[in-house]
């Protein structure tokens, strides 16, 4: 960080309370923390941990929880379902990797994927949650809290649950994740994700995307000008300026997923339960 180890007496005074709780860490770690992070440390809502590959890292319990959630979502398709929820501490990349039985770089790569998707924001060397992201509450609402065990990672208590493929719990979770593929169920998932109801025109576009498989035999619509996309969806009666605004909104919110290389778009699988 370019810190030379020197500090003013004021800085030392401000960091003294936090430092005494972590006597094994260099004092400068606390002196360079922004005020809001020092405040979170004092309130017990964050903790400083040391990752041998990344140095000293501060993260909130929320950040650790979301990291574990993202790993779960990424690997659930492979039959591995591990849910980690932090209570009072936080997990490093190494901690999550150890829980999942993965190597460090594989774990970090999947965490980074969601960081770039704006679920996580970054200030200096610190990770924090983008609380304004509409998917945060949606993800947290889907956390299954049954069959929890407690383990200790360092001095931090971590709750986690492992659900093996083929178990009754896993079958029930998979059933819930697949859900009903009716349009009403898809619509409900999208509205939960957005935190609001869709208006009539937005609903029509989403329904046209949902019915695309029945209409053309494919989930995908070829990228092109707004007129051709509107025609492919069978929405010729919708004013083009209205359609353009809705399409742009759906793409920006990742409700519509577009393949950059093959230039085709579809309703995101996250709302279809992997359909």
User: What DSSP assignment string belongs to 51-86?
Assistant: ETTTEEEEEEHHHHHHHHHHHHHHHGGGT-EEEEEE
Specify the pLDDT at position 231. Answer: 82
Q: Smallest Cα–Cα separation from 209: which of 174, 243, 260?
A: 243
State how far Cα 185 lies from the chain centre. 21
How far apart, in whole angstroms, are the C-alpha atoms of residue 184 and residue 209?
13
How far apart, in whole angstroms, are the C-alpha atoms of residue 72 and residue 82?
6
- Contact (CB, 8 A) for 209 and 267: yes
User: Highest mean pLDDT: which of 23-27, 92-96, 110-114, 233-237?
Assistant: 233-237
Is the per-residue pLDDT at 221 higher than 80? yes
Q: Smallest Cα–Cα separation from 97: which of 89, 105, 88?
A: 105
DSSP conformation class of 129: E
Neighbours of 267 (CB within 10 A): 26
Mean pLDDT of 194-219: 85
Whole-number Cα distances in Å, 90 to 32, 177, 228: 20, 26, 49
Phi and psi torsions of 121, nearest 5°: -115, 170
pLDDT band at 34 (very low <50, low <70, confident <90, very high): low
- Contact (CB, 8 A) for 165 and 251: no
How far apart, in whole angstroms, are the C-alpha atoms of residue 236 and residue 54?
54
Written as six digits, the tokens of 97 are 């990797």
pLDDT band at 205 (very low <50, low <70, confident <90, very high): very high
How far apart, in whole angstroms, are the C-alpha atoms of residue 64 and residue 73?
15
Judge: domain 179-271, CATH 1.20.1070: no
pLDDT band at 220 (very low <50, low <70, confident <90, very high): confident
Whole-number Cα distances in Å, 149 to 82, 101, 157, 160, 224: 12, 17, 10, 6, 51
DSSP conformation class of 255: S
Give Dmax (Cα) for the chain: 71
Domain ranges of the chain: 59-174, 179-271
- Contact (CB, 8 A) for 188 and 195: no
* Three-class DSSP category at 217: coil
Higher pLDDT, 31 or 252: 252
At 142-181, the pLDDT tens digits run: 333 222 222 323 333 333 333 222 233 333 333 334 334 5
């Amino acid at each position: 960080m370019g810190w030379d180890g020197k500090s003013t007496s004021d800085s030392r005074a401000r960091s003294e309370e936090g430092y005494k709780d972590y006597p094994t860490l260099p004092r400068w770690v606390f002196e360079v923390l922004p005020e809001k992070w020092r405040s979170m440390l004092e309130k017990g809502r964050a903790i400083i941990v040391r990752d041998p590959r990344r140095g000293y890292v501060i993260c909130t319990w929320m950040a650790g929880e979301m990291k574990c959630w993202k790993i779960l979502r990424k690997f659930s398709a492979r039959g591995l379902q591990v849910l980690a929820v932090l209570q009072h501490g936080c997990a490093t990349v190494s901690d999550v990797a150890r829980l999942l039985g993965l190597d460090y770089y594989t774990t970090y790569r999947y965490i980074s994927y969601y960081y770039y998707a704006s679920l996580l924001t970054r200030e200096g060397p610190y990770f924090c949650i983008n609380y304004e992201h509409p998917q945060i509450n949606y993800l947290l609402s889907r956390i299954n809290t049954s069959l929890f065990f407690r383990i200790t990672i360092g001095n931090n208590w971590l709750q986690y649950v492992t659900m093996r493929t083929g178990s009754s719990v896993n079958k029930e979770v998979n059933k819930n994740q697949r859900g009903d593929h009716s349009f009403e169920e898809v619509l409900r998932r999208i509205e939960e994700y957005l935190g609001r109801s869709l208006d009539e025109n937005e609903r029509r576009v989403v329904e046209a995307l949902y019915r695309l498989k029945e209409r053309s035999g494919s989930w995908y619509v070829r990228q092109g000008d707004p007129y051709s996309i509107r025609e492919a969806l069978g929405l010729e009666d919708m004013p083009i300026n209205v359609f353009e605004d809705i399409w742009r909104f759906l793409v920006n919110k990742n409700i519509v997923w577009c393949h950059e290389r093959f230039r085709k778009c579809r309703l995101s699988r996250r709302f279809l339960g992997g359909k």
